[in-house]
């Protein structure tokens, strides 16, 4: 039994109006009618949540509405998980979001899909500190650990986690948009497997396409130039320098309230996060895609994106001894001018 | 001069060929043997012709067995009309190369074994690595029987071309395999043992494995604790275990045993820790009609996730008493004191529900505590769910924040002294009573949140103003989403920096 398109709209309506009971009744009702639980998770809740993200990005929904909707989806997932509880027939898998990653729902969906397919799943939730994850792996000895990463800015920490898991002999399955739409960052960081969706991940595990012991990871040779290390270390003073220079180059900033000023500092910090992720992984598109996305986001909210290009230029000027970062920023400026 | 252009005479040929160190067999154009040199005669006392493979092209080399010797033969054109077969005895050369290859294989095996066995502290993973490593070089099927973990059954893992299998057997079944019971007991120390393949009980081998040729049971020597046994099986018709392989099995078993017994110890200790720490972690929050409760606790101690910040919601007949506090210090020591405060509260609550009175009692209890520096900051909130009224007492702790349904944020006007600090036992408290309208939310938090250092420049304190601004953006969100968002914003601010324990707890009156 497949799911009609308007079911997603119905569900979206309910989570968007904070109608928790309505949303839960809807999915449990469909479950009663014979729609498979996996289909509810992946064909109703997942696409609705993608729409929630788009509505927020387009400025149509407030942050509060987005978070409220996601909280209700979490409960809907929990309701499905309570209603359908197959006995585990397969071995043990640990599912966790990387350190600093708060977008737990996609990873949670994976955990539930694996559970439905008979795996014995330990879901550790959002923002799992590395040492805690490793302790858990030693204690439970799973066949694999699935690590979710929604934002590329978490990749350096995801890499640390991934390497630590492999060091204790557990193969890593990477997933989530943070690893790139085609999983190229997962491959670059030496993950033992990558899957674009929860059902693809479940298939991969079922087909035994992960090694039983991780293969020695790739080395990131470009890190030898230390640009990532130095940028991370000097990030504070570099950003302080840019923040001091911005009002001189962008006069409207002189009349900013503290909140507006904080907001600009946040945006700049965000640019710095993506810049350091792009330096870490050595990927230009990671950075330019982010710049284009930010400019689109600002346009959707009626904010001029001129300040983005300006911030990129100032960062470019500030980073004399960082040839790789300067290249990224130059490409980013082009993207901002084009957006 | 004419004679030089003709083929050399037989005498000259014989002289050249006899002088060669390699065996040489010379044939004429028709393939008839013209001469066999001394080296060849010595190498092949009998019929040499049977060794010559005439299907070979000139220039080709092949090896052929002669009894227990190995000969390398090369066919060549010799002069204009003759064919030469050069023979060399390569028995020793090949044996040396084989020995070298086998040695290299054993070294590689041990390196890989070291790499895989040292990785995990998990018993099952170590056993799996042992079985998988042993399959191939050592055996066609390898089974690790783990030391009994109780319940009179013992777990095993087996690797073979049928893949990885897992299961358990009654401990008593170990008696069916000579030497296995002793190996599992870890005492007395028994050497590895050859078994008559016909003695193998059915459960020892994968289904459809076929007839067994060789079967070896090796104890896995543990460090003071038994680490189980390794059973290796080779199929009938395959090679037996030579001395080198037996030595290798012994070295491998020692490494596997060390890894498994370390894992067994670690598992025992971490199970104990988990039980002790479980009581120190935040409890699940109760479901209260008309209210949403949500909490989050991030510990600076990231391994066991315990620390000095704590919260709890204790049910009473009149509604829950919610508490959030912060014990001086960090890590397990602080967590133990935090646990004591929670337990004291639970007991005191049987006699007293008023937050102010409870504060005085807790203070006295802390002052009489054996633990030095038992300083605690605390918020107590007695909730009357029906009317949405909350009685609050605050001791040495940041004042809770109130988020109205319209997004306005207020600080609750309640103050008080740190508990367990002033010897005289005197504390001063200014309590407050607030009312939550539907959609309003009360936020309790610890100073780890506001004193988080980070931000864009990495050295700015988060501060209560930022917390209030962030809270104001949360109007209309469910309590869980509010807590999650505030934690996320705060973690982003820290950007992975070193941090204190951080606790948040939200009480929202449902719409």
Same-domain status, A293 and A197: no
Same-domain status, A3 and A79: yes
Same-domain status, A98 and A171: yes
pLDDT cut 90: percent of chain B above it? 52
Residue A269 is nearest to which of B456, B481, B491, comparing CB atoms? B456
**What pLDDT was estimated at residue B403?**
97
Q: Does B510 touch chain A (CB under 8 A)?
A: no
Q: CA B43 to CA A8: how far, in whole Å?
A: 86
Inter-chain touch A169–B459, beta carbons under 8 Å: no
Same-domain status, A191 and A131: yes
Q: Does A126 touch chain B (CB under 8 A)?
A: yes
The confidence band for B306, taking pLDDT boundaries of 50, 70 and 90, is confident
Q: CA B455 to CA A273: how far, in whole Å?
A: 12
* Both tokens assigned to B221: 């020597």
* Both tokens assigned to B470: 């962030």
The confidence band for B194, taking pLDDT boundaries of 50, 70 and 90, is confident
Reduced to 3 states (helix: H, G, I; strand: E, B; else coil), residue B447 is helix
Q: CA B412 to CA B380: how far, in whole Å?
A: 13
* Torsion on CA atoms B92, B97, B101, B107, rounded to nearest 10: 80
Contact residues for B442 (Cβ-Cβ < 8 A; gap 6+) = B381, B390, B400, B401, B402, B403, B412, B434, B436, B506, B507, B508
| Tens digit of each residue's pLDDT (9 = 90 or more) over B74-119 | 998 887 778 888 999 888 888 888 888 888 999 999 999 999 999 9
pLDDT at residue B191 greater than cutoff 80: no
* Both tokens assigned to A162: 């991934």
Q: What is the CA radius of gyration of chain B?
A: 41
Same-domain status, A326 and A259: yes
User: Mutate which of A169, A170, A214, A244 to disrupt the B interface (most B C-beta within 10 Å)?
Assistant: A169
Residue B415's DSSP bridge partners are B430
| CATH number for position A29 | 1.10.1240.10
Cis preceding linkage at B188, omega within 30: yes
Q: Which residue would you say has higher pLDDT here, A101 or B393?
A: B393
Structural domains of chain B ordered from first start: 2-89 (3.30.450.20), 102-275 (3.30.450.40), 285-509 (3.60.40.10)
Q: CA B448 to CA B461: how far, in whole Å?
A: 10
CA distances from B447 to B123, B327, B452, B461 (A): 41, 11, 8, 11
Closest CA to B221 of B246, B195, B196, B184: B184
Count of CA atoms in the C-beta half-sphere (13 A) of A226: 4
pLDDT at residue B302 greater than cutoff 80: no
Question: Residue range B148-157: average pLDDT?
Answer: 84
Contact (CB, 8 A) for B382 and B391: yes
How much is the pTM? 0.84
| CATH number for position A245 | 1.10.490.20
Same-domain status, A319 and A243: yes
Instruction: Say if the ipTM goes beyond 0.90.
Output: no
Residue A141 is nearest to which of B120, B481, B487, comparing CB atoms? B120
Q: CA B237 to CA B217: how far, in whole Å?
A: 20
Contact (CB, 8 A) for A108 and A160: no
Contacts of B485 in chain A (CB under 8 A): 63, 67
Same-domain status, A135 and A119: yes
From A19, A52, A84, the end of a domain falls on A84
**What pLDDT was estimated at residue B279?**
81
The confidence band for B3, taking pLDDT boundaries of 50, 70 and 90, is very low
Q: Does A297 touch chain B (CB under 8 A)?
A: no
Same-domain status, A52 and A127: no
From A54, A84, A114, the end of a domain falls on A84
Q: How is residue B436 annotated by DSSP?
A: P
Q: Which domain holds residue A267?
A: 222-338
| CATH number for position A162 | 3.40.50.280
Q: CA A90 to CA A108: how far, in whole Å?
A: 19
Residue B409's DSSP bridge partners are B403
Q: How many structural domains are present in chain A?
A: 3
Longest dimension (CA), chain A: 65
CA distance B246 to chain A (A): 26
Residue A240 is nearest to which of B457, B481, B484, comparing CB atoms? B457
The confidence band for B495, taking pLDDT boundaries of 50, 70 and 90, is confident
Same-domain status, A234 and A325: yes
Helix segments in B218-354, DSSP class H:
243-278, 331-348
The confidence band for B2, taking pLDDT boundaries of 50, 70 and 90, is very low
Inter-chain touch B478–A71, beta carbons under 8 Å: yes
Query: Nearest-5° angle of CA B246, CA B247, CA B248?
Result: 90
Same-domain status, A64 and A178: no
pLDDT cut 70: percent of chain B above it? 97
Reduced to 3 states (helix: H, G, I; strand: E, B; else coil), residue B83 is strand
Inter-chain touch A67–B469, beta carbons under 8 Å: no
Q: Does A253 touch chain B (CB under 8 A)?
A: no
pLDDT at residue A2 greater than cutoff 70: no
From A218, A245, A275, the end of a domain falls on A218
Contacts of A68 in chain B (CB under 8 A): 476-478, 481
Phi, psi angle pair for B227, to nearest 5° = -115, 5
Same-domain status, A167 and A285: no
Same-domain status, A45 and A111: no
Q: What is the DSSP string of B38-77?
A: HHHHHH-SS-SGGG--TTSPTT-EEEEEETTEEEEEEEEE
- How many other CB atoms are found less than 10 A from the CB of residue B281? 17
């Amino acid at each position: 039994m497949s799911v009609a398109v308007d079911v997603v709209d119905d569900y979206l309506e309910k989570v968007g109006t904070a109608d928790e009971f309505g949303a839960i009744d809807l999915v449990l009702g469909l479950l009663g009618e014979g729609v498979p639980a996996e289909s509810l998770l992946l064909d109703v809740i997942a696409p609705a949540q993608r729409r929630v993200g788009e509505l927020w990005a387009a400025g149509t929904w407030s942050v509060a509405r987005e978070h409220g909707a996601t909280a209700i989806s979490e409960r809907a997932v929990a309701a499905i998980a309570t209603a359908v509880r197959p006995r585990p027939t397969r071995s043990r898998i640990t599912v966790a979001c990387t350190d600093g990653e708060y977008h737990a729902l996609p990873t949670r969906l994976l955990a539930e899909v694996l559970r439905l397919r008979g795996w014995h799943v330990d879901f550790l939730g959002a923002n799992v500190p590395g040492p805690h994850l490793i302790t858990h792996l030693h204690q439970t000895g799973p066949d694999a650990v699935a690590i979710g990463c929604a934002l590329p800015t978490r990749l350096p920490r995801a890499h640390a986690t991934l390497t630590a898991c492999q060091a204790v002999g557990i193969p890593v399955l990477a997933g989530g948009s943070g690893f790139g739409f085609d999983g190229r960052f997962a491959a670059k960081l030496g993950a033992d497997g990558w899957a674009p969706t929860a059902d693809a991940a479940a298939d991969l595990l079922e087909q035994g396409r992960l090694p039983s012991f991780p293969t020695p990871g790739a080395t990131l040779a470009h890190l030898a130039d230390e640009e990532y290390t130095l940028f991370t270390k000097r990030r504070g003073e570099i950003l302080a320098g840019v923040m001091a220079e911005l009002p001189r180059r962008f006069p409207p900033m002189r009349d900013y309230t503290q909140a507006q000023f904080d907001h600009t500092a946040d945006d700049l910090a965000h640019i710095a996060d993506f810049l350091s992720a792009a330096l870490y992984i050595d990927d230009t598109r990671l950075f330019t895609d982010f710049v284009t996305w930010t400019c689109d986001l600002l346009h959707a909210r009626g904010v001029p994106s001129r300040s983005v290009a300006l911030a990129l230029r100032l960062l470019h000027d500030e980073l004399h001894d960082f040839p790789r970062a300067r290249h990224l920023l130059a490409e980013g400026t082009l993207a901002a001018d084009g957006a | 001069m004419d004679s030089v252009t003709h083929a050399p005479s037989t005498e000259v040929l014989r002289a050249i060929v006899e002088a060669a160190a390699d065996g040489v067999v010379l044939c004429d154009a028709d393939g008839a043997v013209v001469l066999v040199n001394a080296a060849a005669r010595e190498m092949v006392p009998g019929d040499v012709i049977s060794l010559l493979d005439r299907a070979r092209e000139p220039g080709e080399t092949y090896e052929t067995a002669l009894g227990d010797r190995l000969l390398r033969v090369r066919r060549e054109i010799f002069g204009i009309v003759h064919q030469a077969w050069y023979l060399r005895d390569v028995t020793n050369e090949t044996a040396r190369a084989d020995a070298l290859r086998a040695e290299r294989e054993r070294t590689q095996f041990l390196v890989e074994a070291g790499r895989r066995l040292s990785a995990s502290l998990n018993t099952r993973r170590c056993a799996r690595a042992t079985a998988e490593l042993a399959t191939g070089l050592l055996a066609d099927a390898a089974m690790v029987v783990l030391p009994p973990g109780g319940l009179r059954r013992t777990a095993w893992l087996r690797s073979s071309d049928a893949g990885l299998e897992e299961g358990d057997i009654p401990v008593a079944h170990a008696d069916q395999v000579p030497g296995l019971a002793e190996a599992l007991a870890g005492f007395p120390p028994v050497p590895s043992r050859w078994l008559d393949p016909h003695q193998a009980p059915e459960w020892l081998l994968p289904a459809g494995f076929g007839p067994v040729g060789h079967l070896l049971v090796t104890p896995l020597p543990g460090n003071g604790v038994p680490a189980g046994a390794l059973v290796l099986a080779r199929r009938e018709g395959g090679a037996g275990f030579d001395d080198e392989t037996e030595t290798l099995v012994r070295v491998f078993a020692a490494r596997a045993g060390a890894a498994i017994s370390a894992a067994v110890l670690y598992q025992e200790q971490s199970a104990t820790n988990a039980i002790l720490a479980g009581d120190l972690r935040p409890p699940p929050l109760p479901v209260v009609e008309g209210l949403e409760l949500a909490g989050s606790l991030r510990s600076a101690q990231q391994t066991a996730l315990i620390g000095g910040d704590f919260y709890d919601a204790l049910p009473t007949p009149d509604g829950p008493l919610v508490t959030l506090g912060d014990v001086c210090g960090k890590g397990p020591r602080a967590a133990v004191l935090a646990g004591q405060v929670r337990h004291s509260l639970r007991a005191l609550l049987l006699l007293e529900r008023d937050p102010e009175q409870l504060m005085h009692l807790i203070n006295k209890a802390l002052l009489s505590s054996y633990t030095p520096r038992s300083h605690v900051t605390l918020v107590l909130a007695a909730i009357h769910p029906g009317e949405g009224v909350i009685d609050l007492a605050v001791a040495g702790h940041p004042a809770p924040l109130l988020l109205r349904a319209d997004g306005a944020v207020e600080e609750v006007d309640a103050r008080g002294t740190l508990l367990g600090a002033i010897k005289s036992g005197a504390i001063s408290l200014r309590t407050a009573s607030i009312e939550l309208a539907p959609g309003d939310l009360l936020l309790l938090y610890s100073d780890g949140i506001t004193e988080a250092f980070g931000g864009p420049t990495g050295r700015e304190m988060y501060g209560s103003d930022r917390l209030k601004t962030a809270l104001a953006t949360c109007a209309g969100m469910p309590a869980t989403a509010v807590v999650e968002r505030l934690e996320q914003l705060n973690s982003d601010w820290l950007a992975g920096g070193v941090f204190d324990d951080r606790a948040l707890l939200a009480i929202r009156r449902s719409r």
